[in-house]
Amino acid sequence: MRLPCETLACFLLMFSFATEGTIPKDIIWGTLGQDIYLNISEFTGSKAIEEIRWATKESSIARLRNNKQEYFQLNGSYEIFENGTLKIKRLMRNFSNTYKVTVYNTAGALELEKYFYLEVLEMVSKPNLFWDCSNTTLTCEVVRGTDPQLTLYLNGKYVTKHEKIITHKWTTDSSMTFKCTATNHVSEKYIEAVVNCAGKGLGIFLIVGICVGGFVLIVFVVLLICYVSKRKKRNSRRSDEELEIRAPRPATEERARKLPPLPTSAPASAAASPPPPPPAHGSQAPGHRPLPPVHRAQQQKQKRPPPAGTQVYQQRGPPLPRPRVQPKPPPHGAVDNSN
């Protein structure tokens, strides 16, 4: 019983890839998103060729037989030319694989069998280069790319090599030219920069000093404002206390103005005249005791109005205390009459 053609082809394909370890293969690097050509350099086209077949481990891709193209992958990603070259369009990461080409002559004999290992890589981005003069450190890094390799040069001389990021510390203060190169198998980009940190260390200390001085000045201004506000509060409190002390004086003066004027002293003629003699003991009305001379004089002073043209002095402010009047002893005649 014979196997179907397709089943036999699959069997032969699997068998051929099982023995690929003994056959040399070329490593091809492809760029992500771009096209690539797999060329058969050993095939010159001078011999009569009947069939050229391309395949991977999983399935057949395309076939050129009697100058007629036949594709087993209908996604439009492959194209085969008359010289046997295979074109792969718009490479994606899943296109990384082992590709096999077989060439048969018109007699059906195998003319060529070759393997290509295709690896799809992303191009590297331009590296970033930055430095810090305060700690004399330079850093170079790359953001995108498959398996990037960074190389650092100082004034044209090789310094170091690393993947994705490089950190370098220099020891000189003179002007330096750095070059950082990012590479992989499909791309290469670089960046150059001149670093001159002479005198910039003092600038850092100057900035720090300015910051500290500004902070001290702000603290001083805040303390001064607090002191002034407290001083104003203290002065306002003191003025309020003085107003409270001075407030009763106008009320006292107003009350003194409302009091009646004090009587003035009697004229000198009236003061010089002797008091009238007391009445005899027998002439007193029964039930009435004669007043002492002092009280009679006070009553007379209160009843007599001041003469016309006499200026009356009114004391301002609270009334002064009046002197206590000592009672005068009665005359001797009155004592005798009482006896």
Give per-10-residue mean pLDDT for the chain (339 aa).
40 47 74 94 71 92 90 88 92 94 90 93 95 91 94 94 93 88 96 84 64 89 89 80 66 60 49 51 49 53 55 59 65 51
pTM of structure = 0.52
111 vs 261: CA distance, rounded Å: 154
170 vs 137: CA distance, rounded Å: 7
Q: How far is CA 329 from CA 10, 92, 298, 325, in A?
A: 166, 145, 16, 12
Buried b (16+ CB within 10 A) or exposed e, 234-264: eeeeeeeeeeeeeeeeeeeeeeeeeeeeeee
Number of other CB atoms surrounding residue 313 within 10 Å? 7
Annotate 16-80 with DSSP letters as a single string.
HHHTGGGS-EEEEEEETTS-EEE--TT--S-S-EEEEEEE-SS-EEEEEETTEEEES-TTS-EEE
- Give me the pLDDT at residue 272, please: 43
Residues 6+ apart with CB under 8 A from 267: 307
- Give me the pLDDT at residue 221, please: 92
Angle between helices 248-258 and 200-246 (to 10 degrees): 20
- Give me the pLDDT at residue 15, please: 42
Cβ contact 269:307 at 8 Å = no
What is the DSSP pairing of strand 149-154 with strand 157-162? antiparallel
57 vs 21: CA distance, rounded Å: 13
Within 13 Å, how many C-alpha atoms sit on residue 200's CB side?
13
Cβ contact 72:94 at 8 Å = no
Rounded-to-10 torsion of CA 217, 223, 225, 227: -150
SS3 240: helix
Residues 6+ apart with CB under 8 A from 294: 325, 327, 328
